[in-house]
Amino acid sequence: MAFLSVTVPRLVPAPFSDSGEGTATDTAVPLLLIAAVLPFFDCAQHIGVVLLRGLDDTGGGFGVTVVGHWLLGLLTGLATTAVLLLRRFKRGCGPPELRSRPRHHVMGAAQASSRVRPSQSEELRAPGRA
């Protein structure tokens, strides 16, 4: 559908126009071009967010996405966030001197108390043994 919208833009809205006037078709052609391009930027933006999650950088992806969607609008925002997220991923995977400092995982108290030390696990398996 996107290929037809780009190559032969007047063919797609023609069956929906019942009059011989081209006003509806003239209005539909630019909207169909936007609709044809939108999924590419949307997919690139989603791929960028997922790649950053793999680098344990969820805050950067969230901030870029919020700014892009709320301040720039849908198509421009998706295109901008896609470029920025993929650029941020490239920086995170570059040479060590260009990477930002790695983030250290801070373990919460609930997670720390749920961990079992090896000596505790041995006691749990064989309670009668010393």
For the segment 66-111, what is each residue's pLDDT rounded down to a tens digit? Answer: 888 787 777 788 888 889 898 888 888 766 655 555 454 444 444 5
pLDDT at site 100? 55
| In the predicted structure, residue 63 carries a pLDDT above the cut 80 | yes
More confident site: 22 or 80? 80
Question: Residue 29: exposed, middle, or buried by beta-carbon count in 10 A (0-12, 13-18, 19+)?
Answer: middle
Q: Is residue 81 within 8 Å of residue 65, measured between CB atoms?
A: yes
Question: pTM for this one?
Answer: 0.58
Q: What is the pLDDT of residue 47?
A: 92
92 in Cβ contact with 99 (< 8 Å)? yes
Dihedral, 39, 44, 47, 51 alpha carbons, nearest 10: -170
Map tokens 């969607």 to a residue.
69
